[in-house]
């Protein structure tokens, strides 16, 4: 399966390409940079600014080619229409996902899109419907959900050593990035909910099961920014078990799970972000305290492998449409229930 990348993003170079080299059924063909029209539309800025931006994009793309081979495509449309390409990885800002993923699907390409799939549920469902109509795979890259540590945590919970579960807490936040980062730009689909919030909502849903519903949601603004900067909420399932979630992108770093049971507590600190080769741990406190190792894994590689599986297998492809749509609906439900401060 021949894959190309649309945009020389940081995550594509730092995480996607090292993982892709480990996937035997995928071959990297090349990477595309945008034309001025593709980036700016009709409102083109100063020509000098355009030339500078395009030069920077080409320099970034050249790093990929120097490290991994492949060729440079001079526009997104060129890589989408290329007969050399079977599938596309789309690591653009979220606000651009729908436009370019739709074009790729319409051109008959399978699509691996960075999370979130789009910035609203209707657009996401339109993408999965196009994919269904054309018999194509689309996969949303929440790679943490493929990490083996999640199954290990599930097994501890199911074992009963924590007793009956009283509460889950899932938190994910990180310090402020550069002010020009797309996460702080509303038109590009920025905001804490679209970035960090999707992680904690997705994991809370996994912990609680299919009956989980959002019963409280809050987003907080910070003066001088046009997007939500942090937030929190509560999900509850039909058994009455609750998961408290919190997220942010002007926060001290935190990526934690706490499971509070009638007999003990479990905590872990890299539940959503463990990189390849990292060996996570959990702390379990009952009548004593114990630190246990969890399995290391390459979640990004496994996410790409699942994408390949969806390409090759219709049943997996159809199941994944529902997974993607469900996540988009949960985020939309959060927004519907949201109190804004």
Respond yes or no: is residue 115 known to be catalytic: yes
Q: Which of 115, 202, 301, 302 is catalytic?
A: 115
Which of 245, 246, 249 has the alpha carbon at shortest distance from 229?
249
Q: Which are the contacts of 125, defined by CB distance < 8 A and separation ≥ 6?
A: 325, 328
What DSSP string describes 205-219? Answer: HHHH-TT-EEEEEEE
Spatial strand order of the sheet with 242-248 comes to: 289-293, 281-285, 265-268, 254-261, 165-173, 242-248, 230-236, 213-220, 338-340
Q: Look up residue 158 and give its two tokens.
A: 């199911």
* The pairing of beta strand 230-236 with beta strand 265-268: unpaired
Closest CA to 79 of 114, 26, 18, 34: 34
The residues carrying an active-site annotation are 115
């Amino acid at each position: 399966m021949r894959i190309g990348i649309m945009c020389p993003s940081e995550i594509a170079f730092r995480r996607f390409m090292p993982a892709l080299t480990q996937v035997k059924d995928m071959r990297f063909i090349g990477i595309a940079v945008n034309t001025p029209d593709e980036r700016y539309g009709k409102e083109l800025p100063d020509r000098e600014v355009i030339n500078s931006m395009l030069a920077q994009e080409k320099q970034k793309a050249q790093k990929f080619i120097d490290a991994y081979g492949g060729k440079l495509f001079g526009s997104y449309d060129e890589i989408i229409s290329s007969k050399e390409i079977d599938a596309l990885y789309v690591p653009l800002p979220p606000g651009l996902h729908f436009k370019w993923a739709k074009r790729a699907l319409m051109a008959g390409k399978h699509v691996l899109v960075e999370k979130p799939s789009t910035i609203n549920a209707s657009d996401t469902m339109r993408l999965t419907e196009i994919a269904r109509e054309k018999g194509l795979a689309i996969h949303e890259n929440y790679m943490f959900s493929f990490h083996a540590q999640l199954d290990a945590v599930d097994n501890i919970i199911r074992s009963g050593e924590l007793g009956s579960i009283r509460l889950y807490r899932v938190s994910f936040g990180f310090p402020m990035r550069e002010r020009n980062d797309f996460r702080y730009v509303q038109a590009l689909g920025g905001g804490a909910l679209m970035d960090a919030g999707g992680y904690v909502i997705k994991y809370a849903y996994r912990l609680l099961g299919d009956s989980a519903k959002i019963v409280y949601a809050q987003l907080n603004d910070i003066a001088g920014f046009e997007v939500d900067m942090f937030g929190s909420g509560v999900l509850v399932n039909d058994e009455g078990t609750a998961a408290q979630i919190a997220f942010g992108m002007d926060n001290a770093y935190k990526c934690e799970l706490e499971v509070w049971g009638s007999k003990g507590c479990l905590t872990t600190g890299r539940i959503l972000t463990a990189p390849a080769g990292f060996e996570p741990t959990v702390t379990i406190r009952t009548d004593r305290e114990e630190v246990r190792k969890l399995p290391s894994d390459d979640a990004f590689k496994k996410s790409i492998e699942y994408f390949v599986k969806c390409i090759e297998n219709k049943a997996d492809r159809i199941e994944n449409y529902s997974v993607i749509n469900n996540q988009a609906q949960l985020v939309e439900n959060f927004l519907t229930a949201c109190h804004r401060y």
